Amino acid sequence: MSRTEARTDGPLLAGGPSAHLRSTTTSLVIVTPEVVPGGPRPTPVLVHWGARLPDDLEPAALGPAVDPPRPHGAPDTPLLRPLLPLGSDGWRLGPVLRGARDDGRGWSPRLDVVAHVSDAATFTATFADADAGLRVEITLALSPEGVLAVDQRLTNTGTQPFAVDEFGAFLPLPARATQVLDLTGRWCRERDPQRIDLGMGAWVREGRRGRTGHDSPLVSVAGVPGFTFETGEVWGIHLGWSGDSVYRVERSPDGFTQVGACERLEHAEVRLAPGASYTAPTLYAAYSATGLDGLSACFHDFLRARPGHPGTPRPVVLNTWEAVYFDHRLDRLTALADVAASVGVERFVLDDGWFGGRRDDTAGLGDWYVSPDMWPDGLDPLISHVRALGMEFGLWVEPEMVNPDSDLYRAHPDWVLRVGDRLPPVWRNQQVLDLGNADAFAHLLGRLDALLTEYDIAYLKWDHNRDLVEAGHDGRPGLHEHTLALYRLLDELRARHPGVEIESCASGGGRVDFGILARTDRVWASDSNDSIERQHIQRWTGLLLPPELVGAHVGAEVSHTTHRHLGLAFRSATALFGHFGLELDLTALDESELIGVRDAIDTHKRWRALLHGGRTVRIDLPGADAVAHGVVALDGAEAVYSYAQLSTAPTEAPPLFRLRGLDASAHYRVRVVPVAGGPNTHQLREPRWITEGITTSGAALAEVGLRLPVLVPAEALLLHAERV
Ligand code: DGJ
């Protein structure tokens, strides 16, 4: 891999950086314009982020190709799209940097490149403005999977403090990217997609919840009009940050479109002392020429390539929350564990209610001591029982929170995020510990460490059940420090207890981002175990995350959150694709229901390696009455597909189900797989292939498809395709 490198004490006037970063599908090209009289100043310009270009491309040759003319009513110097767009380059879209010293100086720096180094995967440059007293280091790293990671650091090289208001990363989009899709949502309805046509101006999504948020965009996607899961060029970004954020897609009459994101900071929340630095959260970006599936493939492969990605089969979970809630009687829980083990559960997770005075959700948070009332002999009797049954033991915690009705709060009311003497509004009867407070941090680390040391715990379900508002530390905005302290807390616990897995839960799916996932092993997608809702939630969580990172449980027949009745087969077929688990009172099921549950677990285990290692494909359907998707083995040897009918179909004749993603030239034997011990649909006699199976080519399955049987709402057809 060739590498170019340069370093000076002042601006690089000639021979500025140029680079061509490339993965299998994506190229990113940076050029520095030549110094010509009246031309733009020699700052690096990002001329292309998109489809892969040939290896022998001379980046500098693209400079003149994209050089704009000088229209009337525009800057005298042709406006290019600098790598770090700032006002000093004539840039008028959202700037990368906003901030100033106390007297207002330094607010508009002119940053010149003073060093750079690049190869075919990474570009790093240092920019400086000696007068403004600022230095910026930026690294763009394009992974082999096609995910571009943008890291930026701002250093105050002046002699006075510098307050950072915004320091984000932006990437250019081509003019044809005029449609935007991102996600929103709320408790029990996470990952709700919304699509807009981008006019002139900005589409801004601000996260002000102090956690990533149920309504987080997750991925901000811009693309050609009408892009789908299967087709169209798309560019998507995700911010790896668990605090507040701003995502922005902008289009301007200047002729530029860009997408970017940053941490949302309160004024002077980050105030850099001389010599100090602010590191922006990493921006992750991917391009796909083949719709949202291609984009997800980049993100999934990127996550899977991480050294810390879960490498063992994801254990089937029994979570006690919707099974017993706060009713923590040992005999009830051991009976539940017995049945769980008998149907094939591998990890038993004791949810909320085991500590301090926590008999309901009004008290006890913060008192991370096993409750002597509920557990006179500690947790050992339950843990030993669970372990003797061959299951792992997991425990629920909500470390960042405190109930005012707790011993911890009574002893340390000052350990809470607040503004002066005023407490923020309560939410689920709780306040938030100030992790930026060294004593609070040390206490929490000590308690969690002690629990993990004393007990045989393989897994923590790490919850977070409120938004943070007025997150003040010592009278100043404190969310930035609090979020970094949370990361330090998790990192330290993982270093001390490397075998322990952690789930990121926040009232369901309120904290799903690459920042938290760098130190956790799965997310709880939603508190809704209603499989109709889950079909949507899991489909759209999958825009960013591969299925093995997404907790999906079979809940009770009557959903606890929507009160909808759903059969076991549909519930199982829905949960099957994620990190599978159960969340219901198994002791209340009859023998035939338990046979069904056991069958669902067996089916999941049989396909687990495929489901958690294959390529996710989603099938575009014309209406919202059904959801269809599948997972195809990376070598094309087999695949599992699901067609879930959510409401009545609009047509009498059922549609053809196109099985995408198989090897077009290979032949496959396709058969219906009943799950949970029974037929998944009421009518399994026709078409003929339903009973007899069918063998045909991957191309025919993708392009023609298979005629579906008549499905009624809350029926799911599961298919297995095997190469012959
Ligand atoms: C919210 C979580 O999302 C639930 O699964 C459960 O753990 C409760 N908190 C417990 O309070």
Q: What is the pLDDT of residues 347-396, one digit of tens each?
A: 999 999 999 999 999 999 999 999 999 999 999 999 999 999 999 999 99
Segment 276-309, tens digit of pLDDT? 999 999 999 999 999 999 999 999 999 999 999 9
- Which residues are marked as active site? 463, 527
Q: What Å distances lie between residue 505 and 156, 193, 426, 465, CA to CA? A: 36, 21, 20, 8
- From 396, 429, 460, 537, the mutation candidate for ligand 1 (largest count of ligand atoms within 8 A of CB) is 396
Please give the pLDDT value at position 677.
Answer: 72
Q: Whose CA is nearest to atom 6 of ligand 1?
A: 321
351 CA closest ligand 1 atom index: 7
Residue 574: its H or E element: helix 568-575
- Tell how far the Cα of 352 is from the centroid of ligand 1, in angstroms: 7
Q: What is the distance between the alpha carbons of residues 283 and 171, in angstroms, rounded to a whole number?
A: 10
Residue with the two structure tokens 């030549």: 34
Q: What is the distance between the alpha carbons of residues 156 and 420, in angstroms, rounded to a whole number?
A: 29
Q: Whose CA is nearest to atom 5 of ligand 1?
A: 527
- Answer yes or no: is the C-beta of 351 below 6 A from any ligand 1 atom: yes
Enumerate residues 6+ apart whose C-beta is below 8 A from 421: none
- Answer yes or no: is the C-beta of 462 below 6 A from any ligand 1 atom: no
- Answer yes or no: is the C-beta of 528 below 6 A from any ligand 1 atom: no
Enumerate residues 6+ apart whose C-beta is below 8 A from 300: 545, 546, 615, 616
Q: How do 277-279 and 147-156 pair as beta strands? A: antiparallel
Specify the DSSP class assigned to residue 663.
-
- Tell how far the Cα of 505 is from the centroid of ligand 1, in angstroms: 8
- Tell how far the Cα of 251 is from the centroid of ligand 1, in angstroms: 41
Q: Whose CA is nearest to atom 2 of ligand 1?
A: 507
- Answer yes or no: is the C-beta of 715 below 6 A from any ligand 1 atom: no
- Answer yes or no: is the C-beta of 507 below 6 A from any ligand 1 atom: yes
Q: What Å distances lie between residue 315 and 30, 103, 335, CA to CA? A: 45, 57, 20
Q: Determine the distance from the C-alpha atom of residue 578 to the mean position of all C-alpha atoms in its chain, rounded to a whole number.
A: 14
319 CA closest ligand 1 atom index: 5
- Tell how far the Cα of 437 is from the centroid of ligand 1, in angstroms: 26
Residue 524 has a CB neighbour count (10 Å cut-off) of 26
Estimate the crossing angle of helix 479-496 against helix 438-454, to 10 degrees: 30
Residues of the chain with confidence (pLDDT) below 70: 1, 7-15, 38-40, 678-681, 683-685
Backbone angles phi, psi at 569, to 5 degrees: -60, -45
Please give the pLDDT value at position 13.
Answer: 45
583 CA closest ligand 1 atom index: 5
Please give the pLDDT value at position 628.
Answer: 98
- Tell how far the Cα of 532 is from the centroid of ligand 1, in angstroms: 20
524 CA closest ligand 1 atom index: 3
Query: Which residues share a beta bridge with 562?
Result: none
Judged on CB neighbours under 10 Å (0-12, 13-18, 19+), 591 is: exposed
